[in-house]
């Protein structure tokens, strides 16, 4: 039976803009508006905005919350100040990944976990199950929060000019919780008369993103998110779909759950060991990761650059000496560089940069070289 | 509304065929290029390859996905459009002006199984 697709609070706008819509993570989401290449370039060189309201938000509160978040999360949250964000994973005991996520410390005993849309149900259930014996409350706020990502080198100036948000001092991977009304300049308001009704609403603004460019993510109620979207749209900011969100994150080597990370691919195999803090006293999956570190893993996620323009796609076999050594996890003809490149999970003995490998694309085999899994330099403002 | 050119033959998989003597040019329709989005690579067969009606003979790749080219007619490939190697986007900007392969038809009666412009327009209407 087909499951009914959910829609985000900006769905009407996507349809009105003529976006090409497609199911993603249980939601009917915009894949592209003007075209993936246009939108990709807007984010790399100016700025673009994404509806990422499909992302899940799980709130953890209570006196035991710091200890509990540390228990389920690979990064080290001990003693981080309110306003700080950490990236990391939740692991199964065998080291496989439940999900990768951002953890926002809202206050001493309040934490917001931002998780992948496709994993919301699974994550919430997992977190609740682990919370036995901890003095915490776990709430799924995914149906309360909408989210917009404003990304690109002009994001900071756009946030100031259009939304009245002065974010020049907001440090990378930190956030502020702000009253929304304080930033609605009457002359800048969208003119839809909704500003007054948004009085008293608050917004979380973080300097984060998934594009390799400077930028921000806004979390707020659906009404506030709609207001922000309309104001940005009226100011001429390029609406961007999930199509270019993927090409952008891919080029800078950021993983996507289900491709470079999964229940079957550990963070060590994915090359994300720096987000797994082994000096923590404990967390779920620590023993498995310790074993992987001691004995070594047999597979690695690498980058591969092809000599030809043929495009390696997820699932295509990677071969060496006529044998399959792994498969492509994500691949594109890179919009920013024009090269055909991919990330692939392959046997570790072939993972050294410079190793000659091949990708089988339909009936033919195309030669390539193992390289860093970053095909374009990040341009963060840190 | 996708553009449909009179005088061509059309397949349900959105290839067009333009007969020229005992040969035919094969390309993709405006409907197809629009559905695919930015085309960034065309995987073409080689001259001398045989293509068989209703079987895959190459692929057109957008940024996001590869889409098989399905042979609307059978025959030997006698030419590939080299301009698409460096300009795959030509299929977006002028899908009827840019053929993909030239085929020596092995069975001209196969053309009768394809749609004319009016029938193809009606077919697209229902999609």
- What is this model's ipTM? 0.85
Residues A309 and A246 in one domain: no
Q: Which residue in chain B is spatially nearest to A314 when comparing CA positions?
A: B65
pLDDT at residue B5 tops 90 = yes
The verdict on residue B6 lying in a domain is no
The CATH number that applies at residue B89 is 2.40.50.100
For B50, how many CA atoms within 13 A lie in the half-sphere containing its CB? 3
In order of A160, A219, A231, the CA distances from A175 in angstroms are 16, 10, 21
pLDDT tens digits along B19-47: 999 999 999 999 999 999 999 999 999 99
Q: Which of A353, A146, A120 is nearest to A257 (CA)?
A: A120
Structural domain includes residue A381: no
- Please choose, from the candidates A370, A326, A323, the residue with its C-alpha nearest in 3D space to the C-alpha of residue A347: A326
- What stretches of chain A show up as alpha helix (H) in DSSP? 11-16, 36-45, 65-72, 120-130, 155-163, 222-234, 242-251, 286-295
Residue of A256, A259, A309 to mutate, testing the B interface (most B Cβ within 10 Å of its Cβ): A309
Residue A74 maps to a domain: yes
Mean pLDDT of chain A: 95
A210 domain-assigned: yes
Same domain, A19 and A84: no
Q: Which of A218, A250, A282 is the last residue of a domain?
A: A250
Is residue B43 a part of any domain in this protein? Answer: yes
| Same domain flag for A61 and A159 | no
Contact between A243 and B40 using a beta-carbon 8 Å cutoff: no
Q: Are residues A34 and A66 in the same domain?
A: no
Which residues, including other chains, have CB under 8 Å from residue A348's CB and lie 6 or more apart? A296, A297, A298, A299, A300
**How many angstroms separate the CA of residue A104 from the nearest CA in chain B?**
32
- Encoded tokens for A17: 């803009």
Number of domains within chain A: 3
Domain end position, chosen among A116, A140, A164: A140
For A260, other C-beta atoms within 10 Å of its C-beta total 25
Provide the domain count of chain B. Answer: 1
Assess if residue B55 is contained within a domain: yes
- In which domain, by residue range, is B55 found? 24-125
In whole angstroms, what is the distance from residue B102 CA to residue B80 CA? 6
Does the residue A4 lie in any domain?
no
Kindly report the nearest CA distance between residue B41 and chain A, in angstroms: 7
Neighbours of A176 (CB within 10 A): 14
Q: What is the pLDDT of residues A310-331, one digit of tens each?
A: 999 999 999 999 999 999 999 9
Residue at B90 is within a domain: yes
A221-252: b or e for each residue (b if 16 or more CB lie within 10 Å)?
Answer: beebbbbbbbbbbeeebbbbbbbbbbbbbbbb
Cα separation of A29 and A40, whole Å? 17
Handedness of CA B77, B83, B87, B90 (dihedral sign): negative
Residues 319-348 of A with CB under 8 A from B: 332-333, 335, 340
Q: Which B-chain residues 54-113 have CB contacts (< 8 A) with chain A? A: 59, 61-66, 85
Q: Which chain A residues have a beta carbon less than 8 Å from that of B57?
A: none
* Residue A4 burial (C-beta neighbours within 10 Å; 0-12, 13-18, 19+): exposed
Residue of B nearest to A242 (CA): B64
> At A330, which CATH number?
2.40.30.110
Contact A280, A113 (CB under 8 A): no
Q: Residue A234 is part of which domain span?
A: 11-55+144-250
Any domain includes A292: no
**Shared-domain flag, residues A346 and A203:** no
Q: Are residues A49 and A153 in the same domain?
A: yes
- A190/A239 same-domain check: yes
Decide if B93 is inside a domain. yes
The phi, psi pair for A290, rounded to 5°, reads: -60, -45
How deeply is A321 buried, as exposed, middle or buried, from its count of CB atoms within 10 A (0-12, 13-18, 19+)? exposed
B37, B59, B61 member nearest A32 (Cβ): B37
Convert the pLDDT of each residue in A104-152 to its tens digit: 999 999 999 999 999 999 999 999 999 999 999 999 999 999 999 999 9
Distance from B78 to chain A by nearest Cα, in Å? 20
Where does a domain end: A250, A275, A290?
A250
Q: What is the mean pLDDT of residues A48-55?
A: 98
Residue contact B41–A311, C-beta within 8 A: yes
Tokens of A345: 């999970």
- Chain A nearest-CA residue for B58: A362
Same domain, A324 and A222: no
């Amino acid at each position: 039976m087909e499951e009914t697709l959910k829609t985000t609070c900006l769905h009407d706008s996507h349809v009105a803009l003529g976006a090409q819509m497609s199911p993603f993570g249980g939601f009917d989401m915009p894949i592209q508006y003007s075209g993936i290449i246009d939108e990709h370039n807007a984010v790399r060189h100016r700025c673009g905005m994404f509806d990422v309201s499909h992302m899940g938000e799980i709130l953890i509160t209570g006196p035991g919350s710091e200890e509990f978040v540390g228990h389920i999360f690979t990064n080290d949250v001990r003693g981080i100040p309110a306003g700080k964000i950490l990236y990391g994973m939740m692991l199964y005991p065998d080291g496989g990944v439940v999900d990768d996520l951002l953890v926002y410390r809202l206050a001493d005993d309040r934490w917001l976990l931002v998780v992948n849309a496709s994993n919301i149900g699974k994550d919430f259930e997992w977190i609740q199950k682990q919370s036995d014996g901890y003095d915490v409350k776990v709430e799924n706020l995914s149906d309360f929060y909408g989210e917009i990502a404003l990304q690109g080198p002009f994001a900071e100036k756009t946030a100031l000019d259009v939304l009245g948000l002065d974010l020049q001092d907001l440090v990378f991977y930190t956030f502020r919780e702000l009253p929304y009304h304080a930033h609605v300049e009457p002359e800048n308001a969208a003119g839809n008369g909704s500003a007054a009704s948004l009085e008293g609403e608050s917004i979380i603004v973080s300097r984060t993103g998934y594009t390799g460019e400077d930028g921000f993510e806004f979390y707020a109620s659906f009404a506030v998110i709609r207001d922000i979207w309309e104001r940005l749209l009226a100011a001429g900011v390029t609406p961007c779909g999930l199509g270019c969100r993927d090409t952008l994150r891919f080029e800078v080597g950021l993983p996507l759950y289900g491709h470079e990370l999964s229940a079957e691919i550990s963070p060590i195999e994915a090359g994300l060991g720096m987000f797994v803090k082994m000096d923590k006293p404990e967390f779920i999956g620590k023993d498995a990761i310790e074993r992987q570190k001691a004995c070594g893993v047999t597979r690695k996620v690498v980058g591969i650059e092809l000599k030809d323009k043929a495009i390696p796609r997820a699932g295509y076999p990677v071969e060496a000496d006529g044998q399959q050594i792994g498969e492509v996890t994500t691949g594109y003809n890179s919009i920013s560089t024009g090269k055909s490149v991919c990330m692939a999970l392959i046997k570790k003995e072939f993972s050294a940069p410079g190793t000659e490998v091949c990708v089988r694309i339909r009936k033919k085999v195309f030669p390539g070289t193992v390289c860093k899994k970053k095909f374009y330099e990040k341009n963060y403002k840190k | 509304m996708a553009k449909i050119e009179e005088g061509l033959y059309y397949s349900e998989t959105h290839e067009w065929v333009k007969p020229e003597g005992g040969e035919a040019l094969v390309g993709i329709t405006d409907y197809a290029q629009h559905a695919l989005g930015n085309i960034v690579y065309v995987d073409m067969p080689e001259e001398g390859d045989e293509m068989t009606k209703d079987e895959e003979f190459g692929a057109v790749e957008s940024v996001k996905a590869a889409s098989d080219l399905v042979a609307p007619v059978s025959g030997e490939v006698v030419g590939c459009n080299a301009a698409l190697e460096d300009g795959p986007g030509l299929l977006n900007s002028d899908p009827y002006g840019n053929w993909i392969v030239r085929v020596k038809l092995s069975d001209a009666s196969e053309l009768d199984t394809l749609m004319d412009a009016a029938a193809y327009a009606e077919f697209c209407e229902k999609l």
